[in-house]
Amino acid sequence: MIKITDIVKVYRTEEVETTALNNLSLEVKEGEFVSIMGASGCGKSTLLNIIGLLDAPNNGSYLFDGTEVAKKMEKERAGLRKANIGFVFQNFNLIDELTVFENVELPLIYNKVKSSERKKRVNEILERIGIAHRAKHFPLQLSGGQQQRVAVARALVTNPKLILADEPTGNLDSKSGNDVMELLSELHATGSTIVMVTHSGYDAQFSSRIITLKDGEIVAEKVNDRKVDLLVQ
Amino acid sequence: MLQTWFKIFFRNLQKNWLNSLVNISGLTLGLAGLIIVLLYINEEKSYNKWNPNKDDVYRIYNHTDRNGTWSVGTPAQAVVFKSDIPEVEDVLMVDHFYRDFIVDHDGNKMYSEKIAVSEPNFFAFFPFKIKAGSYSSFEKTRNQVALSKEFSNKLFGNESGVGQTVTINNRECIVAVVYTISGKSHYQPEVVLQFENPLPKNHWGNFMYAMFCKLTPDTDIKEVSKKMNNVIIERRHKPHAKEGGITIEEYEKRLGFMTVRYAKLADLRLQTVLLDGGPEGKGNKQLLYVLLGLSILLILISCVNFINLSTASATQRAKEVGVKKTLGLSKKQLILQYISEIVLQVFISFVFALILVELILPYFNQFVKTDMSILNTKVLSIVFLIVVLVSLFIGSIPALYLSNFKAIEVLKGSFSKSKKGVFARNVMLGIQFLISGFFLIGMLIIQVQMQFIINKDVGFSKEQIVAIKINRIGNEYAKYELFKKEIVKNPNVMEASYSLFVPGKGYINGTDFQYKEVPGFSAAVNLSDYNYLDFAGIKVLKGRSFSEKFASDTINKIIVNETLAKRIGVYDNPIGKKAKIGWSNEREFEIVGMIQDYHFSGFDVKIEPMFLMHPKAFSRFVNRMLAVQVKIKMENVDKTMLEIEEFWKQNIDNDYPFTYEFLDKIFAETYEKYKKQQTMFLILSVLVITIALLGLFALATLTIQQRLKEVAIRKTLGASVKEIMFQLLKSFLKIVLISSVALIPIAYFFMQNWLENFVYRIDMPILPYIITPLILIVLVFAVVGLKAYNATKVDLIKYLKFE
Using an 8 Å CB-CB cutoff, list chain B residues near A54: 716, 796-797, 800
Strand-pair partners of B557: B590
A219 touches chain B (CB under 8 A): no
How many domains does the structure of chain B reveal? 3
B715 touches chain A (CB under 8 A): yes
Chain B, 758-797: which have a CB under 8 Å from a chain A CB?
796-797
**A92 in a structural domain:** yes
**A127 in a structural domain:** yes
CB B80 within 8 Å of CB B231: yes
**A201 in a structural domain:** yes
Are both B29 and B114 inside the same structural domain? Answer: no
Are both B514 and B646 inside the same structural domain? Answer: yes
Q: How far is CA B87 from the centre of its chain?
A: 34
Between CA B667 and CA B506 the distance in angstroms is 11
* Shortest Cα–Cα distance, A134 to chain B (Å): 20
**B161 in a structural domain:** yes
pLDDT digit string, tens, across residues A122-134 = 999 898 888 889 8
Using an 8 Å CB-CB cutoff, list chain A residues near B723: 110
A54 touches chain B (CB under 8 A): yes
Of A45, A91, A95, the CB nearest to B710: A95
Are both B119 and B35 inside the same structural domain? Answer: no
Using an 8 Å CB-CB cutoff, list chain A residues near B803: 91, 93
Q: What mean pLDDT value characterizes chain B?
A: 85
**B698 in a structural domain:** no
pLDDT score recorded for residue B273? 63
**B150 in a structural domain:** yes
Instruction: Look at residue B296 and tell me whether its pLDDT is greater than 90.
Output: no
CB B357 within 8 Å of CB B32: yes
Between CA B168 and CA B104 the distance in angstroms is 6
* Shortest Cα–Cα distance, A231 to chain B (Å): 32
Are both B106 and B202 inside the same structural domain? Answer: yes
Higher-pLDDT residue of A25, A172: A25
Of A45, A89, A107, the CB nearest to B718: A107
Are both B253 and B297 inside the same structural domain? Answer: no
Mean pLDDT of B639-667: 89
**B675 in a structural domain:** no
Domain housing B597: 465-666
Cross-chain Cβ contact A54/B796 below 8 Å? yes
Instruction: Look at residue B356 and tell me whether its pLDDT is greater than 90.
Output: yes
- C-beta atoms surrounding B215 within 10 Å: 22
**A181 in a structural domain:** yes
Tell me the pLDDT band of B420, cut-offs 50, 70 and 90: low
Are both B344 and B252 inside the same structural domain? Answer: no
DSSP string, A8-70: EEEEE-SS-EEEEEEEEEEEE-TT-EEEEEESTTSSHHHHHHHHTTSS--SEEEEEETTEE-T
Are both B68 and B95 inside the same structural domain? Answer: yes
Are both B28 and B79 inside the same structural domain? Answer: no
DSSP-based three-state secondary structure for B664? helix
**A146 in a structural domain:** yes
Cross-chain Cβ contact B797/A140 below 8 Å? no
Instruction: Look at residue A214 and tell me whether its pLDDT is greater than 70.
Output: yes
DSSP-based three-state secondary structure for A73? coil
Are both B318 and B194 inside the same structural domain? Answer: no
Instruction: Look at residue B474 and tell me whether its pLDDT is greater than 90.
Output: no
* Shortest Cα–Cα distance, B706 to chain A (Å): 12
Compute and round to an integer the Cα radius of gyration of chain A: 18
**A3 in a structural domain:** no
DSSP string, B554-613: GTSEEEEEHHHHHHTT-SS--TT-EEEESTT--EEEEEEEEE----SS-TTSPPPPEEEE
Are both B374 and B496 inside the same structural domain? Answer: no
**A126 in a structural domain:** yes
**B278 in a structural domain:** no
Instruction: Look at residue B150 and tell me whether its pLDDT is greater than 70.
Output: yes
A107 touches chain B (CB under 8 A): yes
Q: What mean pLDDT value characterizes chain A?
A: 86
Classify residue A98 as left (phi > 0), alpha (psi -120 to 50) or beta.
beta
Domain limit, last residue, from B666, B701, B720: B666
Query: Which ipTM score applies to this complex?
Result: 0.78
- Of B716, B727, B792, which to mutate for an interface test with A (greatest number of A Cβ within 10 Å)? B716
Please count the residue pairs, one from chain A and one from chain B, whose beta carbons lie less than 8 angstroms apart: 50
B710 touches chain A (CB under 8 A): yes
A97 touches chain B (CB under 8 A): yes
Higher-pLDDT residue of B67, B567: B567
Domain limit, last residue, from B666, B686, B708: B666
Tell me the pLDDT band of A226, cut-offs 50, 70 and 90: low
B720 touches chain A (CB under 8 A): yes
**B317 in a structural domain:** yes
Tell me the pLDDT band of B803, cut-offs 50, 70 and 90: very low
The type of residue at B171 is R
The CATH number of residue A105's host domain is: 3.40.50.300
User: Can you give the pTM of this predicted structure?
Assistant: 0.70
CB B28 within 8 Å of CB B358: no
Instruction: Look at residue B713 and tell me whether its pLDDT is greater than 60.
Output: yes
B803 touches chain A (CB under 8 A): yes
Sign of CA dihedral B546, B551, B552, B555: positive
pLDDT digit string, tens, across residues A65-123 = 888 988 888 778 888 888 888 888 888 888 877 889 989 988 888 888 899 999 999 99
**B361 in a structural domain:** yes
Select the highest-mean-pLDDT range: B53-57, B404-408, B756-760. Answer: B53-57
How many domains does the structure of chain A reveal? 1
Do strands A17-28 and A2-12 pair parallel, antiparallel, or not at all (unpaired)? antiparallel
The type of residue at B304 is V
Are both B128 and B194 inside the same structural domain? Answer: yes
Domain housing A191: 29-42+72-227
